[in-house]
């Protein structure tokens, strides 16, 4: 990870490449590079970017394709805590924009501080990010509470077709391309519904099957114990 900062120091034009799930970390690094007065581009090659990330600093600067003139490329594949440690261990001061992006990253990494990735360290870092100016209320509203019309339509379609199997230990959902088109939603938006099903009594896993392809398994979520 330290090689990233070394490469940035020696570069004239840095390109940050991230997928949709890494946008919060990319936003934090982008803020740091602007503070260094570096020329920088932020590229997300994912076809669909969930609008829940639209509050992130520099969201409007995201490009969809790589630039050929960059002389150093950062492809983010770390978690939020690793990027936070990189900043702290190298004396990088975390400003409010960086703090907001990193706090968002913690929410995404831990499913809202609910999965097994949560530890005392995570909560200590969250506290420090709030003290650094993280807009945690906006983060929570967009990442944990934001509901879109497409998401509501998708939820209605999926719940109508849901079956409980294996003594109610498995929640099975079915989806097809026409369902997604009717809802105006994407497959990624199914994740939240699958995760929510794990909160039902007795349910230990949720499964999404493809009606267009002989019930092929698309996604599986397992309750963490």
What is the model's pTM? 0.73
pLDDT, tens only, 14-55 = 999 999 889 999 999 999 999 999 999 999 988 778 888 999
Sheet containing 216-222: give its strands across: 163-165, 170-175, 205-210, 216-222
What pLDDT is attached to residue 225? 66
Contact 164, 198 (CB under 8 A): no
What is the helix (H) or strand (E) element at residue 172, kind and residue range? strand 170-175
Alpha carbon distances (Å) from 143 to 29, 37, 161, 172, 178: 20, 30, 26, 25, 27
Residue 144 or residue 207, greater confidence: 207
SS3 content of the chain, % helix, strand, coil (to 5): 50, 15, 35
What's the confidence (pLDDT) of residue 121?
96
* Closest C-alpha among 193, 201, 183 to residue 218: 193
**pLDDT value for 3:** 82
Residue 149 pLDDT level (bands cut at 50, 70, 90): confident
CB 210 within 8 A of CB 216: yes
Domains of the chain, each with CATH number or no CATH: 2-145 (3.90.1640.10), 149-222 (3.10.310.30)
Decide if pLDDT at 151 tops 90: no
**What is the pLDDT of the chain when averaged over all its residues?**
93
Q: Is the pLDDT of residue 92 over 70?
A: yes
């Amino acid at each position: 990870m330290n090689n990233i900062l070394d490469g940035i120091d020696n570069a004239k034009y840095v390109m940050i490449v991230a997928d949709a799930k890494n946008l919060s970390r990319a936003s934090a690094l982008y803020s740091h590079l602007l503070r260094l007065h570096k020329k920088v581009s932020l590229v997300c090659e994912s076809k669909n970017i969930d609008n829940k990330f639209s509050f992130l600093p520099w969201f409007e600067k995201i490009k969809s394709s790589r630039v050929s003139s960059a002389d150093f490329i950062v492809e983010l594949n770390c978690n939020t805590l690793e990027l936070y440690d990189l900043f702290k261990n190298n004396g990088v001061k975390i400003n409010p924009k960086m703090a907001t992006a990193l706090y968002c990253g913690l929410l995404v990494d831990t499913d809202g501080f609910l999965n097994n990735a949560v530890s005392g360290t995570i909560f200590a870092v969250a506290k420090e990010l709030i003290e650094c100016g993280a807009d945690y209320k906006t983060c929570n509203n967009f990442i944990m509470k934001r509901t879109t019309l497409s998401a509501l339509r998708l939820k209605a379609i999926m719940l109508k077709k849901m079956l409980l199997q294996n003594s109610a230990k498995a929640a099975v959902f079915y989806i097809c391309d026409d369902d997604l088109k009717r809802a105006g939603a994407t497959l990624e938006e199914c994740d939240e519904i699958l995760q929510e099903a794990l909160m039902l009594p007795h349910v230990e896993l949720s499964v999404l099957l493809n009606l267009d392809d002989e019930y092929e398994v698309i996604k599986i979520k397992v309750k963490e114990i």
